[in-house]
Structure 1
Amino acid sequence: MKNEKIVEIKNIRMNYHTLDGETVAIKDISLDIFNGEIVGFVGPSGCGKSTLLSIIAGLLKPTKGTVYINGKEVNSPSKNIGYMFQMDHLFEWRNIIDNVLIGLEIQKKVNDDTRKFAEDLLNTYGLSDFKMHYPRQLSGGMRQRVALIRTLAVKPDILLLDEPFSALDYQTRLAIADEIGTILKKEKKTALLVTHDIAEAISMSDRIVVLSNRPATIKEIVPIDLSCPNGNRTPMKCREAPEFRHYFNKIWKELDVHV
């Protein structure tokens, strides 16, 4: 169900304490995320985007407020949440299929069915010929695809993507963002994407949350509705939509970045 709430973020505040005093990183953020949505988060550097993802993932406890996933309060890391970081974090001494299975191993869920599901994902997304290869034998874009498949293999309810393409060169970044955006839509996954790239956020997201300078608050939520050429809703094709420039200029102005 598209209108089913999967994530509820209620009045989140995050304070950091240091020897120099207290820093407010996030101030009173509330937001609902619905099933099957891809929601992009953009904001100035250091505004707390990654901190917010870590709170949603249960890796950090907020100073105030609560996060619910499928109606249950998040108090610790959950198997229902998949997290993709900036680096792929593949184990160099394990081949690709063994890297993909690592999450299932941790959850003690490796069996014939889960292994077949993982191998089917590799096959569907063009990596079955490389399943016995090692990470060093793959390109950066292929490694990121493996990292996503490793995350999908445990069948999480929600995916958190923290600048997952930032380590790639520009051409590879465009290509792999297009691939991963298409995979997320095909698998009907709910995802939260943190990125500094406005164009990337627009091309991949159903909504974009614009955050303010620290302490982060929500400045605006921008629904994205692109008339992609020939109805082709891949991220790359969506960049050709006539509305794309309008959204880019609107979000750029909202960011209010002063050089």
Structure 2
Amino acid sequence: MTAGPQDGLVAQWWATAVSRVEPGIIELREHPIQDLIGHATFVETIWLLLRGELPRPEQAGLLEAALVAGVDHGPQAPSIAAARMAATCGVGLNSAVATGVNMLGDVHGGAGQQCVQLLSEITERHDQGREFDLAVTEVVGEWRGRSRYLPGFGHRFHPHDPRRDPLLALVDRAVADGLVEGAHLRAARAVEAHLNRGREGRKPVPMNIDGATAVIYAELGFAAPLARGLFVLSRSVGILAHAWEETGQGRRNKSPMPPSMVPVHLVAPTARP
């Protein structure tokens, strides 16, 4: 049977450089899967699929550190709480995980992407000739003009995020070794210093996990949207663990609050200006 024009159309419909799958053949970015199994780590494979080539071991190590740092933040995180509630509703483990992942939006889960954008604006403005401190002041002012929250800085729970220092220490080492340039690291520390200038005696505004991982993703050359995508991969591990734990506790239709707090007395919402 000869191939017709429709065969070419079908082949192009899902054309991709990510993978090639044919009878007896599975390739990821032109790497046979049998060559990757037992040789490439999961983190290296993530890099390969997103970037089209295998990373250097030092690059993979830095990416892995960021992924490890973001795996979980307890059931007070909306994504974790939602997954645990879903797990008690008979939807199955995959649906419980999907419920948690789908909570990761602009407000909860998107700060890493936004912080990469913030830091990139500073570095780009400086590269275009703007004096560095002025670039920091301008960009921070513009972002704070749109929202009082600056992505990647401050934390409602931690006075000092315990994940910040070890992550930034790894980036410092990567800069010293010539693995990354350090421009985004410099920008992040400058923003942190700018936010804390004149706050002596008041609660500081330190860099948080979103800021520290944003530095890593940006220094490694990942586009800003992938900072959110990589965070989703990381947090899905914690979501899975919590959903699985919840399935073994025997509760059904778990609500956001303990039964002792129900019924809740509703009050009219306060009008916002």
Please give the TM-score of this superposition, normalised by the length of structure 1. 0.24
What TM-score results when the alignment is normalised by the length of structure 2?
0.23
Answer 1 or 2: which has greater strand percent: 1
- Which structure has the larger Rg? 2
